[in-house]
Amino acid sequence: MPTTLDVVAILVAAGSGQRMGGVEKAFLPIGGIPLLCYSLSVVQASPLVQAAVVVVQGSSVKRAHSLVEERGFSKVAAVCPGGATRRDSVWAGLEAAPPSTWVLVHDAARPCLTEELIQRGLTAASGTGAAVAAIPVEDTIKEVGPGGAVQSTLDRSRLYTVQTPQVFAREVLRRAHQESPPGPSWDDAALLEALGWPVCVYPGDRRNVKVTVPEDLELVEALLSRRKGS
Ligand code: CTP
Ligand code: MG
């Protein structure tokens, strides 16, 4: 695991929450606290992360700045505007981040981040320079064609659902962003894969859910209220 002062977290929160009905999820209150603050608190408390960059929609930079100040998130080195795609937002975060050897990219839409996930990610990334949190798929997955016709059943034993944190040697991620062709909703790991860079998975956490649709809020609220009470 990297031990020097060399990890910057990039929290991407610049999406427009279309599946949530067009709301900026970063500012959705959960238990009275904006969603973004949960993962930011974990980063703030982590002895493994020295600085953070928060990427939000251009129109929300001021609002995010105020939040960071009000709540004393002193590790935040920059709040910057994101782009049209997640990839663009991560790139913006990379450009705004202070120099570091490693970057830990995390979706602010996953408020149940833990110190264990950060730790596991950094340990795993020290191998090839790229590691992503993932969990084995447990449901049977079918490929479905037009009209709802099942076409095939995939071999579940090799399938994983990928989460964040995704941890990278910064220079490798930078190069991947510069050199990879545009891809359909690719995460950062996919950019490296496209260049043939070895990416490994490390154990994610089933509770590290992404707030995507309104139903997810109920689950996340329950998970986070338990955490506060524990
Ligand atoms: N994200 C971002 N910039 C974008 C798109 C997404 O920073 N242009 C961030 C989101 O804010 C979120 C994470 O990437 O923290 C994962 O994206 P997703 O859950 O898809 O969020 P949204 O893009 O906001 O939601 P939707 O796809 O439903 O519009
Ligand atoms: Mg999206």
Question: What value does the mean pLDDT take over residues 110-127?
Answer: 97
Residue 2 in this model has a pLDDT that exceeds 50:
no
> Considering its fold, how many domains does the chain have in total?
1
**So what's the pLDDT on residue 228?**
58
The sign of the dihedral angle between the CA atoms of 207, 212, 213, 218 is positive
Residue 190 placed within a domain = yes
Residue 220 placed within a domain = yes
Burial code of 15-36, b = ≥16 C-beta within 10 A, e = fewer? bebeebeeebbbbbebeebbbb
- pLDDT tens per residue across span 65-109: 999 999 999 999 999 999 999 999 999 999 999 999 999 999 999
Cα separations in angstroms, 151 against 55, 100, 143, 146: 40, 46, 5, 9
Share of the chain above pLDDT 70, in %: 96
**Three-class secondary structure assignment of 179-199:** HCCCCCCCCHHHHHHHCCCCC
Ligand 1 atom 16, closest CA:
107
Residue 2 placed within a domain = no
Ligand 1 and 25: CB distance under 6 A: yes
Residue 220 in this model has a pLDDT that exceeds 90:
yes
Query: In this structure, what DSSP letter does residue 98 have?
Result: P
What is the whole-number distance in angstroms between the Cα of residue 44 and the centre of ligand 1?
22
> Which residues on neighbouring strands pair with residue 167, listed in sequence order?
104, 131
Ligand 1 and 185: CB distance under 6 A: no
Domain range for residue 115?
7-229
| Amino acid, res. 80 | C
Atom of ligand 1 at shortest range from CA of 213: 28
CATH number at residue 99: 3.90.550.10
Residue 93 placed within a domain = yes
Given its phi and psi angles, is residue 32 left (phi above 0), alpha (psi -120 to 50 degrees) or beta? left
The span from the first CA to the last CA of the chain, in angstroms, equals 28
Please choose from 10, 11, 12, 132 the residue to mutate so as to test ligand 1's pocket, defined by most ligand atoms within 8 A of CB: 12
Residue 110 placed within a domain = yes
Residue 1 placed within a domain = no
The chain-wide mean pLDDT, for the chain, equals 94
Are 86 and 151 in contact by the 8 Å Cβ rule? The answer is no
Ligand 1 and 24: CB distance under 6 A: no
51-56 and 76-81 beta bridge pairing? parallel
Residue 227 in this model has a pLDDT that exceeds 80:
no
Task: For the full predicted model, state whether its pTM sits above 0.75.
Answer: yes
Residue 119 placed within a domain = yes
Burial code of 141-171, b = ≥16 C-beta within 10 A, e = fewer? eeeeeeeeeeeeeeeeeeeeeebbbbbbbbe
Grade residue 181 by pLDDT with cuts at 50, 70 and 90: confident
